[in-house]
């Protein structure tokens, strides 16, 4: 059975690219594009891995991640946090909220695929 990944990202080009190369790698890919109801999307899709943008309409990725980590169902869910801003403050805030890995945009397909494989490894 394919592993499930939920990509919560508001940039259509990134959604399309990430969905394409992860599905080619055998992942079942689901997408969501806002922070308003991202927690509902996680609950509904029950992913094995979450790729979460830092800046989303409605709620920030950090706020979403804090809520996820406070819920026992999602406290161990691997989360790859993406951001267009590479400030050390953003990285520190994401790590404090419980991000498993942090990646700055732009990234190569190979970089994100390597990160996803690493986070999904048993």
In a structure prediction context, what are the per-residue pLDDT tens digits for the chain, which is 122 residues long?
689 999 999 999 999 999 999 999 999 999 999 999 999 999 999 999 999 999 999 999 999 999 999 999 999 999 999 988 777 888 899 999 999 999 998 999 999 999 999 999 87
Please give the model's pTM, rounded to 2 decimal places.
Answer: 0.95
Which run of H or of E encompasses 14? helix 12-24
Edge-to-edge, what's the strand order for the sheet holding 49-53? 28-32, 4-8, 49-53, 79-83, 101-104
State whether residue 30 is helix, strand or coil: strand
d(CA 11, CA 34): 10
Q: Name all domains of the chain by residue range, CATH numbers in brackets.
A: 7-120 (3.40.50.2300)
d(CA 89, CA 30): 29
pLDDT attached to residue 90: 87
């Amino acid at each position: 059975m394919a592993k499930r990944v939920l990509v919560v990202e508001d940039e259509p080009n990134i959604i399309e690219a990430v969905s394409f190369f992860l599905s080619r790698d055998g992942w079942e890919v689901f997408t969501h594009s806002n922070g308003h109801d991202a927690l509902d999307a996680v609950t509904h899709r029950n992913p094995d891995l979450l790729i979460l943008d830092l800046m989303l309409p409605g709620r920030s990725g950090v706020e979403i991640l804090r809520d996820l980590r406070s819920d026992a169902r999602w406290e161990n869910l691997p989360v790859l946090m993406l951001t267009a801003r590479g400030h050390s403050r953003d990285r520190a805030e994401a790590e404090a909220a419980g991000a498993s890995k942090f990646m700055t945009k732009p990234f190569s397909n190979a970089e994100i695929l390597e990160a996803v494989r690493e986070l999904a490894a048993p």
